[in-house]
Amino acid sequence: MTNFLKEKKILIIITGGIACYKALDVIRRLQDKKVNIECILTESAKEFVNLITFESLLGKKIHSNLFSLSHQKEMNHIKLANEVDLIIVIPCTANFIAKMANGIADDLASNILLASKKIKVIAPAMNTNMWNNKAVERNLKSLEKMNVKVFSPKKGLLACGSKGAGKLMEVDDIIDNLNHIFYPKALSDLKVIVTAGPSIEPIDPVRFLSNYSSGIQGYEIAKSLYYHGAKTTLITGITNLQKPKNINVINVSSASDFYNKVANNLPCDVLVSAAAISDWKVKRISSQKIKKNKNDTLNISFLKNIDVLENISKHPKKPKLIIGFSAETSNLITNSKSKLKKKGCDWMIANNVGENKVFGSTHNKVSFIADKKIEHWPKMKKSDVAKKISKKIVNFFKKK
């Protein structure tokens, strides 16, 4: 992955939380990326970590006191606020979120944040009940309105012993997300639609026809295109994934829902149809639960479902670039090339779902198929597949 962090200047503000020690790993990783780092420890952070540890790692003085900094000839807090490319607060406590949201400036860190017009990021970490507290939710919404980027915490086992949301985002993800912020916004003039996840076709009030799609690949594509500056809409079936920040998310269920929402959001420049949409639906949906009977079999009639990709490819407002996904268990390339032609899309991303675990996995192995071109990509993270697809899209519009 291209390193867009190289030679950037980042100010890291460390607040008081049990996840303080992870900031050391973030600093190491950013140093590996050739980032110029300044660091501030709040007074509460000093209760958790040793100032000398951070100064030894950085090889420079850690800032902490507003008044001593203000009297240094070589740097004051206004200068520090404006000479960096980005400020990240990690871990960001509920208390510090409240200070930022309400403009409180009672220490060096909060003064600098108020004085700076640079990119601001917070990586919260706290107890689950605190994270779900209405006051914290309100403060986070206020920060988002101020264009503060939130690296939302993950679910997991917390230091307090409870399980739930509030665990600091993984360091790898923090570094990746910081790198994404500095992506060249090559798609900033484009509107894109991404579909993801499974469709659900009802059989009766309690049963349905669906598939194993987790939605991970589609979500990663939507995030990658957003990072490249595209105005992104994600149309998704039911998943267990967290909704991406700053992306218009539309929840749907059936194939007809997928089609209607895609069509209603046209025109657009790009459609990436990554959703696993059922080829079939029930001919007659029972209004009552289908009960067991004396027979050992149950006959249900199915009808061919609406083909979202094919119909959008024939739509009067057809997008400039249409990308489909082909999940096969045999004859991958032959079947996928046939789909490309039949459906009338521009590219097909093909993967064999019979050879290895794809649904629910964080990795994928795909082949890129265009009219006169086939590329077999190695197995990689779905996030990396998304980046390669995004790069293809960037190059497509550059040529246009």
| Alpha-carbon distances of 267 from 192, 262, 390, rounded to whole Å | 9, 9, 20
Annotated catalytic residues are 160
| Residue linked to tokens 């218009």 | 248
What distance in Å separates the CA atoms of residue 202 and residue 283, rounded to the nearest whole number? 10
Which residue type sits at 240?
N
8 A C-beta contact, residue 162 and residue 369: no
Among the residues of the chain, which ranges form H helices? Answer: 22-32, 51-58, 66-70, 77-82, 94-101, 108-115, 128-131, 134-145, 171-181, 216-227, 255-264, 308-313, 332-343, 382-399
Give SS3 for 10: strand
- The amino acid at residue 283 is K
State the sign of the Cα–Cα–Cα–Cα dihedral 328, 331, 336, 341.
negative
Handedness of CA 46, 52, 58, 63 (dihedral sign): positive
Sign of CA dihedral 184, 195, 146, 156: negative
